[in-house]
Amino acid sequence: MKRIWMIGLALAAGAQEFVVFPNPGDTPQAQLKRYLNRIGAEQLRARDGELAQVRTREDMERRKKAIREKILRLVGGLPDYRGPLNTRQAGTLRHDDYRIEKIVYESLPGFFVPANVYVPLQGAGPFPAILNPVGHGAPGKASEREIAVGLVKKGFIVLKYDPIGQGERLQYYDPELKASKVGGPTDEHTHAGGHTMLIGDNVARYRIWDGMRGIDYLLTRKDVDANRIGCTGCSGGGTLTTYISALDDRVKVAAPSCYITSWQELLEGQGPQDGEQSLPRFLAEGLNFGDYIELFAPKPWLSASTIQDFFPLEGARQTFEEARRIYSLYGAEERIGWYVGPGGHGVPRPSREAIYAWFVKWLKNGEGDRNEAALDLDPAEELLVTPTGQVSDSLGGETVFTINKKRAAQLMQARPAASGARLVSDVRQVAAIAVEPGGPAPRVKVHSSVEREGYRLDVISIETEGGIRLPGLLAVPEGDARKPALLIADATPNQTLAQPGGDVDELAKAGRVVMVLKPRGSPETPQAPSRPSPIASHGAAALAHVVGKTLAGMRAEDIIRAVDYLCARADVDPSKLAAAGRGALGVALLHAAVVDQRIRQVVLQDTLALYRLAIERPLHRGLYDVALPGVLLKYDLDDLLAALAPRPVTVVAPVDQLGVPMLAREFRQLCAKASEARVVQRGVLRALLR
């Protein structure tokens, strides 16, 4: 055991020789976060400057119109279906002073929404009604019931429903496992967001629509007063409360809890949240949390926070102060409120009572008691609407995946042909690639060197952009003559790539200048093994997207800048420059090669074959590492492969949307456009390039 321990220490020490950024605060991932946060902060400052120019009610009304248009565009618009709800009754639970009706309605045809309706048994209707979307808890409508019971006892009709991915509405339900195939509610939401993002939508469009159709249902009831509709929810329910209230004029009073903060504080904290909470280009379009509230002005709005919530409290204060100024333009300062309750994330009794008081004041003319009565909660099982406890095996019907697949087919059918200058322009726009090939050579720093047979191996970093320094390797063969060069984009640890007998070693011995590049955000050191996640890299991708960047696009820019460096070297023949990319970095290389004609040969290994596989098949893995918002409205990866012709392209072991290797014949069938690309199941890089 002692010998094994000593060997491990020696290997670790050897590995450290190839690590450029050992400081946890300076890793490639940390650099990327700081870079994106800096862009976000600049965008927020620009927004603050624009908002400062809003000085009158008329100014604000013009701004509200623009805000609404932006938000709707960022979610992909809302469905235009207003067909029948086809409401079904599934039973009733009775209490002394209220009943719970169990129903199912269809927000879209065959898109079933199980719900509980809390109805007062005392007092005369029509009653004010509250839409009560829930947070991200697995029980769905069976969670956070205290506020629903508290409100119904005060004379409000309350509608609680299962959002997608929760309660009886799992989108990826496995009847044998009796669980989701992709994980918990956050995974379900964000996984569904992968499908929708590829056609320029956000999964929020369906979550918002479910709530709006819930209001449609409430207004079919004779015991509901259509002029007294409120909305409240916590966490993910606070998100939906915010969205629905801002976009649906029928909501007269809003009270989201444990969601409202500011992006200034969120950037410095935990960053973007679930798929529906992170709208691509949100900050780039000049938006912040306050815009939702200001869109609602001057109607009564209460933001509820807790002192120890993970949504930064300081951000909630900033947003409240901003919104209060806007409300003052309408002479409605008394209609904007902020309550801070005790404890952590959630709605403790003091917060619930503050929400009761807000709704009583604005929807019941102040006639009622804010204090919470004793609560009698039914067992969660009694609240189930479907016979099996899941829509999928009780009712069947649609999921976000099936709806999105049909919508994608229609949108993609109208897509113009992707080729020539149009394709290059589309690639730049969709991937957000701003770098022009042929710029000045970036600065390269050599951190250490080792002499090997026939060449020198440098451990380097390359500064492709201010604040971005990328680790890598540079193998330089002996001699001053110009040589062919190879750029390898690979996240494999340097100590592995630099091993004697490996590709880098053999290619350098064969006389090629070889640069290994780890484009931004790629881990430099081996990562702890973990179960493959369907939503891996969502956090980094979402942060990039909200500021108008993309991971694949930024990494393509890094590749182009590395090509600038190689082409500027006196010992490199620019006419003989090839590039290889592995995994997700192969997608970045493909985009770079379309933009940069200096890349004369391309090798892709273990790289996604087609984006549309994640549209046509329900499960995906690692999609957020390569996904581009709206990409399938313009092109797919086979279009890029075809555009590289007649440059030689070799595709080694292409993979599907799950990262599973595809047979060469399957790839050929799916990627017929890329007929000139060579497809092999395995290959050694040095052999392919000779």
| Residue 306 β-bridge partners | 341
pLDDT tens by residue, 556-596: 999 999 999 999 999 999 999 999 999 999 999 999 999 99
Q: Report phi then psi at 189, rounded to 5.
A: -65, -50
Residue 530: pLDDT band (50, 70, 90) is low
Residue 110: the pLDDT is: 98
Scan for tokens 């939508």, then name that residue: 201
Residue 15: the pLDDT is: 58
Residue 534: the pLDDT is: 66
Cis status, amide bond into 646, omega within 30 of 0: yes
Q: Are strands 513-517 and 483-489 parallel, antiparallel or unpaired?
A: parallel
Residue 17: the pLDDT is: 78
Q: Report the chain's C-alpha Rg in angstroms.
A: 28
Residue 24: pLDDT band (50, 70, 90) is confident
pLDDT tens by residue, 141-189: 999 999 999 999 999 999 999 999 999 999 999 999 999 999 999 999 9
The strand ranges marked E within 270-410 are 301-306, 336-341
Residue 658: count of CB within 10 angstroms of its CB: 16
Give the helix/strand (H/E) hosting 116. strand 111-120
Residue 4: the pLDDT is: 40
Residue 7: the pLDDT is: 34
* CA-CA-CA-CA dihedral for 19, 20, 21, 23, to nearest 10: 70
Region 6-16: what's the mean pLDDT?
44
The whole-angstrom separation of Cα 576 and Cα 593 is: 14
3-state secondary structure of 338: strand
Residue 6: the pLDDT is: 37
Tokens standing for residue 542: 């979402």
Residue 525: count of CB within 10 angstroms of its CB: 16
Q: How many helices (H) and strands (E) does the chain have?
A: 23, 20
Region 14-43: what's the mean pLDDT?
90
Burial of 431 (0-12, 13-18, 19+ CB in 10 A): buried
The whole-angstrom separation of Cα 620 and Cα 535 is: 8
pLDDT tens by residue, 247-277: 999 999 999 999 999 999 999 998 898 889 9
| Residue 468 β-bridge partners | 465
Q: Give CA 389 to chain center in angstroms.
A: 29
Which residue in 673, 613, 681 sits closest to 650, CA to CA?
681
pLDDT tens by residue, 623-675: 999 999 999 999 999 999 999 999 999 999 999 999 999 999 999 999 999 99
pLDDT tens by residue, 278-291: 999 999 999 999 99
Give 655's DSSP letter: B
pLDDT tens by residue, 436-465: 999 999 999 999 999 999 999 999 999 999
The whole-angstrom separation of Cα 582 and Cα 579 is: 10
Is a pLDDT exceeding 90 seen at residue 12? no
Residue 414: the pLDDT is: 87
Residue 528: pLDDT band (50, 70, 90) is low
Residue 529: pLDDT band (50, 70, 90) is low
The whole-angstrom separation of Cα 484 and Cα 256 is: 61
Is a pLDDT exceeding 50 seen at residue 32? yes
Q: Kindly report the average pLDDT of the chain as a whole number.
A: 94
Tokens standing for residue 58: 């008329």
The whole-angstrom separation of Cα 404 and Cα 364 is: 41
Global pTM reads: 0.94
> DSSP of 427-491, one letter per residue?
HHHHHT--PPTT-PPPEEEEEEEEEETTEEEEEEEEEEETTEEEEEEEEEESSSS-EEEEEEE--
